[in-house]
Every structure is written in C-alpha cells, then in structure tokens.
Amino acid sequence: MRAPSSQTTPGPPPPPRASRRPEIFVQLDKFWMRVTEGLEASQLWQQFRKDARTSYRLYQKDFDRRAPGESWRKNFLHTLQEYAWAILEKLTPARRVLLLVGFLLLIFPGGGFSYHGRSGEIEIAEFDFHFFGGALLFILLMLEIADRVVMKRDLEIARDIQKWLLPSAAPQIPGLAMAFATRAANTVAGDFYDAFARPTAGSNPPSVLLAVADVAGKSMPAALLMATFQASLRTLSSVPCTLVELVAGMNRYANTNSQGGLRFTTAFLAEFDPASRTLTYVNAGHNAPILRRNSGAMERLEAGGLPLGINLEAEYQSAQATLQSGDWLVIFTDGVVEAMNAAGQEYEEQRLLNVLQAGVTATPEELLRRLMSDLDAFVGDAPQHDDVTCMLVKVS
C-alpha cells in the first residue's frame, strides 16, 4: 500500500520585489532630462561644438577687422588683447566694467586683518573676494540671458511672420510639378521664393511667375529687405508689363533700400506660359539655375544683368526656353552649393548634379528630400553660414 504523498499543489510565484531607487536619484534624473531636453551626451557634444564654432567665427570677424592679416604666432599677447576687445565690445560699457571687476575679484587673493577685541585678545577677520567676483559674473550672466530671451522672442515672432509671407504649398500649375524648401542660417532668413499666377490678356490661362532671390547678408536686416522685396514683387506683378520691365522696376525700388549698393539682391525671375510651355526668364546676378533636359543635356539660365540694388540705370535682358516633358528646372541660392562641412569643403554644384541625375524619375517632393538629406549628411554638425533655398520644377 502506497503512502499518501505529502506534496501540495504549488501556488503562484511570489511577486518580484520592486527595485525602488532613492527619491533623490529620481529627482536628479528628472532635473537632468529637463536641462538636456532628453539629448544624449554625443548630441550635447555636437551641439556644443557647433555653438563654439559659431561663436569663434563671430569673434574672428571682429579680430580680422581690428588686426587684418595678423597671426597669433607672431605676437601672442597682442592677439589675446585683440580677442579680448572683440568680446568686450559686444557688451555695454556698464557690463564691461561689471565683467572686469568680477574677473579681477576672481583672481585677486583673499585678505584679512587683525584687531584687538574687547577682551584684549587679538581677533583675525578674513574675507574672500572670490565669492563677490562670482556674484558679479552671475549678475552679468542674468542680464545677458534676459536680453537673449527678449531678442529670441522677437526673432521667433519675425520668423512666424516670414513664414506667412512665403508660400507653404506649391501652387497647382498645368504641366508643372514643383517643390521648394528654405532653411535659415539664423532664426530668420534673407532668402526668398514664390510662385503665383499673373493675369494675361485674352482667354489664355494665366502665366505663372517663379521667383527665387537672395538678399546680401543674413538674419534680421536681410529678412526685412526680403519682406520689402516680396511686397514690391507682388505689387509690380499686378500691373501688365513684360518681365524685363518688371525686373527694371524691382531694381529701381531696390536701389532706394540698398544703402548705396551694400544691401543688393540677387534674383532669378521667370514667367511660364502653360499654353506654349515657354519659360521667359531674367537672371539678376543669381546662381545660374540648371535646366536638365529629358535627354540628359544640361543648360544654364544665365541671361539677365546685375543684381538688384547696385546700379539704378542697370539694363536687363531676357531669354526663353521651351520646356518639354521630363525636363527638370533647379533654382537654388548660393547657400546650397557653398555649404561647408567641418573640414572646410564646399558642397559644390557637382554633388547637386549627382543627386539630380540619380533622381530624375522621382517627384519633386521626393527629390527635394533626397537633396536636403544629402546636404545635411555632408555638412554634419558644422555651423551653417548662409541661408539655403531650393526650388525644383518638373515638366509633366
């Protein structure tokens, strides 16, 4: 006879003990995530390198202006002095004093003195200037941050206004498909692009005006001139006139705002007639657009004249090209082909042509994404020194 088994049915396994981290580490993790916005160490390092290069270039321009052609190897102390002035000149006089006093207090040794107390014993009082120096530099930092926040808010408002001025989607043009993109070197850009219909006489469908322009310089001054360029282009385009007359009117207007030719504008303006598929264009000192024929032949659209805003009496010539199915038109600013990587190499037109040749069967939206991705891969984390704008047009 078998003895009854003493084994019982196993129950559910006990729940694992929760590994609870101390609250202080949880709070530190939250604080760090808030500071870094979730960026990894490699991303933070890339961002720091980009900011450092941008700051160096800013001070380098002032140094070259003060001491053109001078090398730090010849006179290190003089070079250090000029760089220090390049930094100080970015501050107001009151903040310069604050910075110098704070810096001196940081390097000044502490001090003290002795005196006889009421009990007759010698007492020693010591003081440390480092705390006061750090406090002054912290106050200076807060003042600079306040200015930066105000300026950043104003620039963000200007960026939003600029986005409203530029078309957000490509217009529907019979026989054409297009895509465009722009990227500012700073918060706002001096590049401009537009595409809109111009009324024509008779029953023909309206012609379409294509425009890409680049105001000399960047950031806020260039953005303001870009806005005036857009307003004048829309206004003058509403009046029946030839493309040459339109560009001549734009040049007269640009000369009133160019500060004696310092703030000139390069522009490519073209008018497309859907009925005849004829493209009439004027190139006002702009990078020559690329017309890639369906056969693979390349043409450059160069006819035109000087950039707008240099010479009030400048004369402009127009030229024509008949577009056929499968043709590509690539209009770009110099920020595309002159984009530089960390090694100081430029992107150049040949890389642009390679991307174009490899994507002739794609849509303009797809090809534009490929181009911008290839440009980003080439540039890496190097700071962008100019605005980037590109318009792609494919004939169907």
Task: Please write down the HEC assignment for all residues of 154-176.
Answer: HHHHHHHHHHHHCCCCCCCECCE
- Establish if 380 belongs to a structural domain: yes
Share of the chain above pLDDT 90, in %: 31
pLDDT of residue 201: 54
Q: Where are the alpha helices (DSSP H) in the chain?
A: 23-36, 41-66, 76-88, 93-107, 129-165, 219-237, 243-255, 334-337, 348-358, 364-379
Residue 6 has pLDDT above 50, yes or no: no
Dihedral sign, Cα of residue 86, residue 88, residue 91, residue 93: negative
Residue 234 backbone dihedrals phi, psi, to 5 degrees: -65, -40
Is 159 part of a structural domain of the chain?
A: no
The pLDDT of residue 180: 92
Per the confidence metrics, is the pTM higher than 0.85? Answer: no
Task: For 173-189, write each residue's pLDDT tens digit.
Answer: 888 999 998 888 877 77
* Residues 226/162, Cβ–Cβ less than 8 Å: yes
Contact 285, 306 (CB under 8 A): yes
Domain range for 321: 172-395
Of residues 17 and 306, the one with the higher pLDDT is 306
Pairing, β 319-322 against β 122-127: unpaired
**pLDDT of residue 40 exceeding 70:** yes
User: How far apart (Å, rounded) are the C-alpha atoms in residues 355 and 92?
Assistant: 48
Residue 209 lies in a domain: yes
Q: Are 365 and 376 in contact (CB under 8 A)?
A: no
Q: How many CB atoms lie within 10 A of CB 328?
A: 21
383 assigned to some structural domain:
yes
What would the pLDDT profile of 239-283 be if each residue is shown by its tens digit?
A: 888 999 999 999 998 888 766 667 889 999 999 988 889 999 999
In a domain, 258, yes or no: yes
Nearest residue to 372 via CA among 336, 338, 340? 336
- pLDDT at position 370, please? 95
Determine which of 186-200, 242-256, 362-376 has the lowest per-residue pLDDT on average.
186-200
Higher pLDDT, 141 or 289: 289
Helix axis angle, 76-88 to 41-66, nearest 10°: 100
Does residue 57 lie within any of the structural domains? no
- Cα separation of 322 and 50, whole Å? 45
- Cβ-based neighbour number of residue 57 at 10 Å: 11
35-49, 139-153, 234-248, 363-377: lowest mean pLDDT where?
Answer: 35-49
- Domain with residue 196: its CATH number is 3.60.40.10
Q: What is the 3-state secondary structure (H, E, C) of 67-101?
A: CCCCCCCCCHHHHHHHHHHHHHCCCCHHHHHHHHH
The arithmetic mean of pLDDT across residues 366-385, rounded, is 89
Number of alpha carbons in the 13 Å side-chain half-sphere of residue 190: 21
Residue 73 has pLDDT above 80, yes or no: no
* Listed residue (156, 291, 292, 308) closest to 246, CA to CA: 308
The number of folded domains in the chain is 1
Domain annotation covers residue 64: no
Q: Name which of 205, 138, 128, 211 is nearest 173 in CA terms.
A: 205
Q: Is residue 114 part of a domain?
A: no
